[in-house]
Structure 1
């Protein structure tokens, strides 16, 4: 990859007609700000540090541009010729430890644009959106995204509600330490339904029905979610929206049986093929994660689900439905039994009525005989 990065670097300078000195000078202006973006002091000299930033930034720009003009590059680009390798690069670009500040990559891109305006290239945000398009399930528009700090943050943004305001940090004061699993909730009569919403955070509970958006679980899901959670844990101004969602999913899923329930309802699309593997993955996502507080909406949501399970009436109703109406055969036999019982009841009533009428007639006849004897 190091040799490939140098090839991309050369291609970038050829494409933009920029000089190394121009880019190095601009990076020198930003160096102090760039260093402050990292959690710990960067133990490199100025020249070594800026060299690494320049190579990585230009590689990302050139790679994104080649992917943007896919048809032109697919038969000559070393990465695009090998889809598995290009896929590995996507994973590397997701990793939190591999991030460059977004303003650096965008700044170098904008610096290069005046040198080739005739190519009619889009903004770097548009190029980045095109590259990560498969992750943009909500089709969020580039102009709606402001203040992204790096690519991991961009991917997190794709998962947030379109109306989410990044500038406002929501206050979280509630704690959730328990929520019944999907299996237990269904035993209590809870109905799971898939939501048409494309935002994973749209969890709705209403009148015994829990509606959840569909989530696809594949081989890269763990890498994807883990890095977003790590970002939310590290960034002081970042609300833990995705962490809260995963925590609730972790409560709902304890075993492969819980996963199977959600798969049946199309809430989870299991591309791993093994329900137990999905359960293990979800449970591992929250390991070593600190979430002391949760927003009040989720606290209320969890309390409602727990209260539904703990209501005895819901349990007895669910047991009755499961024992007598869970399958077509049980429904048919239950209806037949009810009809037979009803007919037996009607027959009994008719027999009692007939006996009662016969008794009345006998009494009436006896009384008539007695009156006749008295008259005589």
Structure 2
């Protein structure tokens, strides 16, 4: 298997995922309330063994899961991805006690995780975060002998907030140190001083803000090492950025297939829409861009799994190309469908609301371009 093709077993697995999404997951998604965690859907992902695979599979498998689910049920895809994003730092950087406490519950769908990095004044500029972790001589009352802190400040645009059961929280432990003064903490939702508010967003999945009013944490809650939390954040994002691209590719593929069906059957101007050259060429462009994005996503995921040195560049390229492509493809699909695609409940109306956010979260498109340029120049300047 190369980075540019799937073997028969992978292809069959993707087809099985799409069938499961249609038969088991989409009915649960349709019963969910927009803007809130759909716990029955999360539990079903656990029952099907998909959440456990977040911690036993590589980046390519993660991409295949996200792309396949997104083609059929974006709500299921997002629920799976948010569990992975919130819990991956625990899996990769947590202590045995942290992993034993939380990962089984995440895997079976019984606990909801969240990744709390963004702030009102520090979204894409993650190194500028201001949530403070101040040393607490009083102690936090939660054990640990390596120090205690109090978290004070805000987080914003946090997926699964305020309904998650625990948060991976990034806080400033050393003022003025930029990315080198950030520590990652595992913070259960029931810690005193932690409150949250849901936000009414364009995307239908749950997003909220968090307020930290002297929330106690100790060394037992640190993920990785103190002042090394930026490494935790970037390690997580380097894994998940290609899979954000896979989510986008899945949406683009769904929009493309809907357009093929519509243009093949729609009568207009004395024939089928597909017989109009401008329509046929538009559909060809949609397919071309979708396939190019898919191949870049697979290549970036394969590079991650192989431990390649250029993962940050490849991950940024894959996320950038795929999310921008999906926006183009979904928009073009809406245009070719006409007014029917704007009706509430139409697949493309749903995708149009879903497709916008991925160009912003986990690093906006402009940030991805900055990452790519930085990596290019660093390679050029290396001895």
Superposition TM-score, scaled by structure 2 size? 0.25
Larger Rg: 1
TM-score, reference length from structure 1: 0.25
Q: Tell me which protein shows more helix as a share of its residues.
A: 1
